[in-house]
Amino acid sequence: MPLDIQIRAAAPHDLSADLLVVGVLPAGKSAALPPTLKPIDEALGGALSRAAAKEEFTAKRDQSLTVSTLGRLPFEKVILLGLGERRSLGAPEVRTFAAKAARAANGDKARSLALSLPAGFETELRAIGEGLELGAYRFTRYLTGDRKPKAELASVVIGAGAKLKPTAKAAVALGQRIGLAVNVARDLSNEPSNVVFPETFAHHAEKVAKDGGLHVQVFDFKEIRKRGMKLIDAVGRGSAHEPRLVHIAYTPKGAKKRLVFVGKGITFDSGGLSIKPAAGMGEMKHDMSGAANVVGLMAAIAAVRPKVEVHAIAALAENMPDGNAYRPGDIWGSLDGKTVEIVNTDAEGRLVLADALAYARSLEPDVLVDNATLTGACVVALGNTCSGWYANDEGTARAFSAALKASGEAMWRMPLLEDLRDGIKSDVADVKQMGERWGGSITAALFLREFTGDTKWVHCDIAGPASLERPTGWMQSKGATGHGVLTFLALVEGAAR
């Protein structure tokens, strides 16, 4: 359920909730608490200032201090969160602050939270709304009895340190809708594969489109084959759950640019005939995180309504072994027309993406972005909290870098090294599905580039299923769940300016 979020101009001691979280800016060389906390410190008999002195709390970034009120105030605890220097604070840092507050409330079994903002934060209310929903997220749908949380955060009152503008409430509400949109992606990825498979994923996508007033098409297996999407056919044919391709479109009048986002949607990846080891296979329900991200993005687009045409393509399949499964050594055609030699059926994501990219290219986008939990090689290179990205155009790369700065998400640009292109040359087909062991993320990107033509393109090899939490403080679920949605939204909003 969405949080019930209220906002008003109020000092910290004028708020009431189970838990009070106060954002604190450094007071120069002094370790003194801000004047707004004096009434709370007095009510606690100086306990807050004594604790701050003892713990050397100076409001550095990520510093925190917790004090129990012992019933002397209308909250059970007070948590001070250090924000660091004001000049270094933007939307990403403010979003993280709000997310940490919400997570602290859930961790403390608080049903209500009072969040006190320093003066000047009124310009970042959208980020506050985003962070509260992102931080409050927990996937508890299948917990019962004693395992079910006894309490969870339900309501938040935001206390602003200055007079609010008439648009304040709308800014928080918009941020909240964007946070909930990211949580759509997280929910999809966290669902087990017996619940979310290609057909049911498509149903979820249709609901998101309907709720947002967006147009949606779903291609069933018959249509996929009719259109010549032979690589999606190859990957999906080994499963009892037939593949799907979902196309969600937002087409406002007067839009001058068109952006298309493609997501890999392998709802479960056994590895196919090149079967994976049992250890870790259970995490392969997250191999559709790229597709979940583009659906979550469209939920955010429906909230923001930018003056840009946006399309999302989700290529959905379950990679399973049976007597009809594709095999190493096979040669398959593609929607693009190129033939592909199959080297390893566990490198299936690039195959469904290849057909999806060719389909997306037919929409003639100004920018084409794909994202996928594509290679373990990228996780080896960058760790499991940072994604890699590639671009074939410098202007597009600059725009994507600006979007990353706006979102605060951790991604690192990787090179499209032409020297490695020989690794995907085939002796028996137009292209080989994968190269040698070394540079695996790069050769995967080079393979995908074969299907993008002259389109300006960005590929995101998003941090893989081993990831548990993001250092930014708001990811609290396994998988690359939602990582990228805020960046893609920032890219769209940048194109709208």
Active site residues: 276, 350
Distances in Å between the Cα of 203 and the Cα atoms of 206, 207, 211, 215 are 5, 6, 12, 13
Question: How far apart (Å, rounded) are the C-alpha atoms in residues 272 and 326?
Answer: 8
Amino acid identity of residue 263, one-letter, is: G
Cβ partners under 8 Å of residue 138, min gap 6: 106, 149, 152, 476
CB 17 within 8 A of CB 73: no
Distances in Å between the Cα of 146 and the Cα atoms of 112, 142, 324 are 22, 12, 44
Question: How far apart (Å, rounded) are the C-alpha atoms in residues 85 and 79?
Answer: 19
DSSP strand pairing (411-413 vs 331-332): unpaired
Place of tokens 């969040």: 115
Place of tokens 């909230």: 303
Cβ partners under 8 Å of residue 70, min gap 6: 44
Q: What does the block give as tokens for 135? A: 């931080």
Q: What does the block give as tokens for 111? A: 């049903």
HSE-CB for 286 with a 13 A CA cutoff? 22
Tell me the angle at which helices 91-107 and 125-136 cross, rounded to the nearest 10 degrees.
Answer: 40
Tallying the residues shown for the chain, one arrives at: 497
Distances in Å between the Cα of 353 and the Cα atoms of 11, 32, 46, 233, 391 are 52, 56, 61, 12, 16
